[in-house]
Structure 1
Amino acid sequence: MVRRIGLAIAITLTAVASPATAAAPVVVAHRGASAYAPENTLAAFHLADDQDADLFEIDVRETKDRRLVLLHDATLARTTDVEQVFPGRAPWRVTDFTLAEIRRLDAGSWFARDHDGERDDGERDYDGERVPTLAETLREMSDSDLGLLLEIKTDGQRPDLEARVADELRAHPGWQQPGRVVVQSFDWAAARAFHTRLPQVPVGLLGTPAAADLPALAGWARQINPPYSALTRSYVRRVHALGMQVLAWTVDDPAVARRMLSYGVDGIITNRPDLGDLADT
């Protein structure tokens, strides 16, 4: 797969006229190359770069002491050894642990590509991989060719999280280059609040807004990012007609990828960034 030269064009604020005139569709590595490495870890992000993804997607949450870490789930149980390290602290919510405590956790030993606890011959050992902070990730990946799709995880309970994400991006100005970052969220109020704080960074809305709501959203959002199962060709056209773009998630099947591209989506979010050169399928 050849990395798209049109990446910066594909995720800027410009309108998308039609699939025929749009930039080549982008491939977004969902939580990194998460089919092959533990999700939301530096190892997964570097592997996504090796596999020629265009962007890597991350999930940002807040710790008890209000530090920004990368975790998808609201609890630490699925992707770390927190139950062994802190056995008496169920249900192991991220917001109940300090950054110092989370740094003690192993975020890689749970992962095995064959999903049965046995590693294939030659498979990398991810034991000891840690939960990274947002700042660590921005520094580590700054010299890569990857763009970033950053999801804010508020769970409706962290009303100022978008402000701290904006502050962290300001502290790493290289990531504010045009087309380098998109910030998205299921919490559309948080996404809009982020937009007011850092308007030069495009904002995406996760989910499938009603068609009647799209014109109002187009006033400040630049992407509508639904699950692929919710998409139709006509919906993609409506979004494009309003100058916004569409990234479909989570697409790991080449046949589904081809169908999404036939609808004219601007990119796919996938656990398998080596799925193939989707622009040529």
Structure 2
Amino acid sequence: MNKKVRQVAALALYLSVLFSLYLVPLGMYSPCIKEAGTLGPAPTLIGHRGAPMLAPENTMMSFEKAVEAGGEGLETDVTISYDGVPFLMHDFTLKRTTDVAEVFPNRTHLDASMFTWAELQQLNAGNWFLSRDPFGTVSSLSEPDCSRAQNQSVPTLAQFLEVAARSSRLVLFDLHRPPYGHPYHQSYINTTLQVVQAHINSSQVLWLPSEDRELVHAVDPELQQTSGEKASIHELTVGHITRLNLHYSTMSQQQFRKYQSVNVSTNLYVISQPWLYTLAWCSGAQSVTTNSIHILSSINKPLFLMTQEEYSLMWILTDAVSALLIIAVFIFHWWRERGLPWSGSRQTHENGAYSKFRTELSDVWSISSVSVRPDLRSAPSSPSKPHLPTITEE
């Protein structure tokens, strides 16, 4: 009876877990489960520091490769040199993407903005890409591209803006404030703004720096004010925000619709996988920042897209087939158990391994029952004619 109770309890637990698994997919949500005809246009692509899989990041070659691959925007990071030249550098130091350890070995830990522009021009900004191969793509580059990458240098903001202006691309950049004691610690925004206005149409620039935003908007209202944080509609309106630059983990179809209703578009970063780009597309993002602009530019439709009815039907059919297979397995085992011979209350399977085991076990017991006759155990044996003991079976 106890065995029966345990079997019933195990079966009930198994069926409850199985039933729960059957119901889980029906309650799942995906932005790519939507009604036909409601999918918006594909998000535009903004090259993250250019095309960093095809060329060293934040170099002229990288941005030109991003334009060639079909990017509609270029993203970078701007720092001010010690003598007031805005240049492109993501890290606070120069160690990772230049040969500063060879040219200025005693200054590797200095902030990048503590170098003059003349010193920065002495650095190579491409060799590290070929030696470290950060994306595992160097082997796919042509020999001319490898040679070109090897000779890249640190570019100025002006050079970067000229590439964007010639190709009519959008520009998105973050701006690093120089450390305390730097000559341009207070005036770095004005210095950067002057370079922007001198080299590109302001309407092409997504202005991301949040400091002195009101002043910047007053000086140049054509700039597309861009915020790196979510905010209420009122705050966005007051701050003249026209675009949000958010991490892709903040994807929300409802929020995107809310922002779009007041003409605030959304850019998501950094999206480099096709499946993640598909989710951003289905969610309604207007643009994405990507490392793989050459890959995403070839995607002309989402990888997966279906209506709620199609999704439900797919899982219902899957659950039904799974249930039939499980029932068939149970029936097979029940039939197999019922088909075995029984002897009294103990089941004996006379074929296969069990039969062999029982035969060997019987032989062992037969050998253990053999003994030597007691009267012969201590009898002396003749040296000339050995006496063989008689074996008897007790």
Deviation at 1:228, TM superposition (A): 0.2
Aligned residue for 1:250?
270
Aligned residue for 2:102?
84
Q: 1:182 to 1:196 in 2, by over 3 A?
A: same
Deviation at 1:229, TM superposition (A): 1.2
C-alpha contact (below 8 Å) 2:54/2:137 kept by paired residues: no
Aligned residue for 1:162?
189
C-alpha contact (below 8 Å) 1:154/1:161 kept by paired residues: yes
Structure 2 unaligned residues grouped into runs of 5+: 1-36, 303-394
Partner amino acid for 1:36? L
Indicate the RMSD between aligned Cα atoms, in angstroms: 2.6
Aligned residue for 1:146?
169
Q: Aligned residues: percent identity? A: 27
For this pair of structures, how many residues does the alignment match? 255
Aligned residue for 2:46?
28
Distance in 1, Cα, partners of 2:219 & 2:72: 26
- Superposition TM-score, scaled by structure 2 size: 0.59
Distance in 2, Cα, partners of 1:109 & 1:276: 27
Partner amino acid for 1:170? Q
Is residue 230 of structure 2 the alignment partner of residue 223 of structure 1? no
Aligned residue for 2:28?
none
- Superposition TM-score, scaled by structure 1 size: 0.81
Match of 1:181 among 201, 205, 211: 205
Distance in 2, Cα, partners of 1:145 & 1:216: 30
C-alpha contact (below 8 Å) 1:80/1:107 kept by paired residues: yes
Match of 2:120 among 102, 123, 132: 102
Distance in 2, Cα, partners of 1:139 & 1:235: 35
C-alpha contact (below 8 Å) 2:53/2:135 kept by paired residues: no
TM alignment of 1:1-281, pairs within 5 A: 24-112=42-130, 114-115=133-134, 119-120=138-139, 122=142, 124-125=145-146, 126-154=149-177, 158-172=185-199, 175-176=200-201, 178=203, 180-185=204-209, 188-206=210-228, 208-209=229-230, 211=231, 213-219=232-238, 220-274=240-294, 275-278=296-299, 280-281=301-302
Deviation at 1:118, TM superposition (A): 9.7
Q: Deviations over 1:227-277 (max 9, x none)?
A: 101222222223223321100000001111110111101111001112234
Higher relative contact order (CA 8 A, sep 6+): 1
Give secondary structure in 1 for the equivalent of 2:64.
helix
Q: 1:34 to 1:23 in 2, by over 3 A?
A: same
Structure 1 unaligned residues grouped into runs of 5+: 1-18
Higher helix share: 2
Q: 1:263 to 1:192 in 2, by over 3 A?
A: farther
Q: Which moved more, 1:122-131 or 1:48-57?
A: 122-131
Deviation at 1:96, TM superposition (A): 1.2
C-alpha contact (below 8 Å) 1:162/1:191 kept by paired residues: no
Partner amino acid for 1:93? D
Partner amino acid for 2:107? R
Deviation at 1:25, TM superposition (A): 2.3
Distance in 2, Cα, partners of 1:138 & 1:200: 16
Partner amino acid for 2:237? A
Give secondary structure in 1 for the equivalent of 2:129.
coil
The structure with the largest alpha-carbon Rg is 2
Q: 1:246 to 1:255 in 2, by over 3 A?
A: same
